[in-house]
Structure 1
Amino acid sequence: FWSFLTDVFTNRQATRLFGAIAAGGSAGAIGGPAITGVLAQQLEPASLLPIAAVILACTLPCMWVLERFSDRSSEHGTTNQPLGGTLFEGVKAVLQSRYLLGICLFIWLYTTLATFLYFIQADIISNALDDSGDRTAMFAAIDLLTNTLTVGIQLFLTARFVQYFGLGRALSFVPLLVAAGFVVLVAAPMLLSIAAVQVIRRAGNYALAKPGREMLFTVVPRFEKYKSKNFIDTVVYRGSDAIAGWAYTGLTGLGLGISGISVVAIPLAVLWAVIGYRLGVSRQARATDTATPVSTAARRIP
């Protein structure tokens, strides 16, 4: 989906629209559980599956509209042309590009710190709340607050933040907040602290870091948008997640508690911020170097 959007929208359009587009996913994250909660009181669980299938099928006309839109807005009609070649071309491009390797490092640091916070959250909540129902309610409250805050930021602040401060500062903002959050956890590893850190971190990621990360791919060649990007989003992302889990286990095996692991995480968060800033600056330089006249159809995009 995001590969296709980086192929259709120009660099400037992505800056303006990707936050609002991402809000669609956040709205679904709120509406889906809410609809399920209401229907589950009226129907058997198995009866919810056909409803889910119908909702999923509604994505098909959306795909058709996007496909038609790409025909009108893409320059020279190249969007629908087959790429050819193999997946390994994308891997090779990643290994030969400092820019793509920087994105890999950015994602590795993000997934590592997110995994650390996930395990810290599990430890703190399990120690603070004995009842499984209370723990479930706490997780639900964190998710609800996160998704609600995310939608508001995506709709009203993401584009303005990137346009005013630049993508580099936007990509470094969330890592700096995470670094501050780990400082808080060093001093006070308690329930309120981890809840606040998780809400701020996740909302900031969905509203700023994720759309900003997708904007980075608007300035790369087309085959990298599909082949290299999907290698990064699968192998690098999930591989980093697994390695981070092993790393957390190793740190706890060395006797480090929540405060100790938070101390280790602080410099990683600062490095994450530096990488994010440099990627944003590099993306702007690439956009300036490769700037081409926008087609008439593209200019009409609101």
Structure 2
Amino acid sequence: MHDPASPAGAGAPEGPPAPAPPPRRGRGLGIAPGEGAAVAAGFLFFFCLFAGYFMLRPVRETMGIAGGVQNLQWLFTATFAVMLAAIPLYGACSAHLPRQRFVPWVNAFFVANLLGFALATRLAPDDVRLARAFYVWLSVFNLFVVSVGWSLMADVFRPQQARRLFGLLAAGASAGGLAGPLAGAWLVPRIGLTGLMLCCAALLAATVPATGWLFRWRGRAGAGAGAVAGDAGAAPQDPGRPIGGGLWGGLTLVARSPYLLGISLFVILLATASTFLYFEQARLVAQAFPSRVRQTQVFSAIDATVQALTIAVQLFLSGRIARRYGVGVLLTAVPLAVAAGFLVLAWWPTFGVLAGAMVLRRVGEYALLRPGREMLFTVVDAETKYKAKNVIDTTIYRAGDAVSAWAKTAIDAISGHPAVVALTGAGLALAWAALGWWLGRWHERHGGGRQAGAAPAGDWRQARGPLR
């Protein structure tokens, strides 16, 4: 069994030298020679993933309102319970399956789920219990496939490559997030919800060949380049071998590492800010737009606006900010902006202000926070990338969702005024910003600038030092 406390790839020679400066045609995007095809594969991977998800997301939001805004916390709690139950199953699969098989099998599992929902929706289109089950399932599906997808990218690319390229890969997600709701709005009157589910299944299936190609490129020019075959120390990093570990290995890794605990708290604060804004969005949309059709149109318009703005930021700003100012700025700027948004919302609680705050938060999360968070995992070992990261991205994130949902319900019941929630959110966002700055500095000082042989950040003992 792989020891997560041992340095990633211990005993192997240092990785290949840094790539040559990008050619003129790729210099503006930070793409070095030999990386273009990998960037295209990663871009298409996330495009297909997010296009399928965002086809169905507006339907989920409408279903959530249909069940009653006052009952949303129960759906959040159910989602967390499903996430918690999935941990041992995920741990067993990731421990015994090679990574190059595990990643496509996860996506194939969710393709089968979508086919089942398509059949059930065809047979019982108005079943309320089916609608609630689909709401919970889509919330679980989203976090699992996105987390596994970013684990794949953190596994394939070296830290310095990630600093330059993760913004471009995230742009694939945003492009898919823009195409998905637009295609969904056009297709749903023609093929219905069942047809949308089948389209999503087809897009998810298209990620499987991209996964295989990326793992092969990893050995040629990515994180696995230069590894010595048969090196026992490097064996756990071989994507053709199982990761090992126990059913609850992800939780154990998180509990042992201050770094991973810090990332977990960062994710909880992110979920709290998102949940507070999400509940206010549901309340104000329900007040302003009584029609379900109009609500779906509003959610689709917000999604399209967010994705269009996000693509521009990811293509031209995310990589430049990361290279020039470091990961800490990516992780700090958005919480500070969200704190400002909460303060404005406390003073002026209207749908227009709320929509602006939601767009700001989501654009910042997708364009800056998401690439920044994923860069934090480029310096850890394979078990941490696939197990601890998944626990943080799914179970801990949804735990933050559930706790913050009930906290908002309690604040509303006690105060009866939306401004109290907004002011609470502003205070938590400031703490979120401070934690983001600390994580960024830790990453920079303990492996963020290394190309190979970095100690896994999952083990504090391998990278202890003062944070000045």
- TM normalised by structure 2 equals 0.59
- Equivalences for residues 1-302 of structure 1 within 5 A: 1-43=149-191, 46-47=194-195, 50-72=198-220, 73=222, 74-75=224-225, 76=227, 78-80=237-239, 81-287=241-447, 292=452
1:255 Cα deviation from its structure 2 partner: 2.1
Deviations 1:86-111 (A, max 9, x none): 14233222112111000000000000
Residue segments in structure 1 that go unaligned for 5+ positions in a row = 295-302
Of 25-34 and 172-181, deviating more is 25-34
C-alpha distance in 1 between matches for 2:342 and 2:256? 34
Opposite residue 2 of structure 1, the aligned amino acid is: W
1:192–1:223 CA distance, 2 compared to 1 (3 A): same
> Which residue does 1:299 correspond to in 2?
none
- % of aligned pairs identical? 40
Distance 1:235 1:181 in 2: 27
Aligned residues of 1:109 and 1:272 also touching (Cα < 8 A): yes
- Checking the alignment, whether the CA contact within 8 Å between 2:160 and 2:451 is kept in structure 1 is no
Taking only aligned residues, the RMSD between alpha carbons, in angstroms, comes to 2.1
Size of the alignment, in residue pairs?
Answer: 294
Q: 1: CA distance between counterparts of 2:448 and 2:214?
A: 27
Match of 2:376, SS? Answer: helix
Evaluate the alpha carbon distance shift between residue 136 and residue 34 of structure 1 in structure 2; reply closer, same or farther with a 3 A threshold: closer
Distance 1:20 1:88, change over 3 A: same
After superposition, the Cα gap between the structure-2 partners of 1:288 and 1:153, relative to the gap in structure 1 and judged at 3 Å, is closer
**Structure 1 CA distance for aligned equivalents of residues 452 and 269 of structure 2:** 33
Q: For the residues of structure 1 that align with 2:395 and 2:282, how far apart are their CA atoms?
A: 26
Give the helix-richer structure, 1 or 2. 1
* Distance across 1 between alignment mates of 2:195 and 2:253: 46
Counterpart CA distance in 2 for 1:175 and 1:117 is 13
Cα pair 1:89 1:227 within 8 Å, conserved: yes
**Alignment partner of 2:238: what SS?**
coil
Contact 2:159–2:451 (8 Å) recurs in 1: no
The question of whether the paired residues in 1 share the 8 Å contact of 2:268 and 2:400 is answered with yes
Alpha-carbon contact 1:70-1:79 (below 8 Å) kept: no
Higher mean Cα deviation, 194-203 or 164-173?
164-173
Q: Which amino acid aligns with 2:238?
A: T
Structure 2, unaligned runs of 5 or more: 1-148, 230-236, 455-468
1:13 deviation in Å?
0.7
Separation in 2 of the partners of 1:205 and 1:162?
14
Higher relative contact order (CA 8 A, sep 6+): 1
Q: Which moved more, 1:156-165 or 1:49-58?
A: 49-58
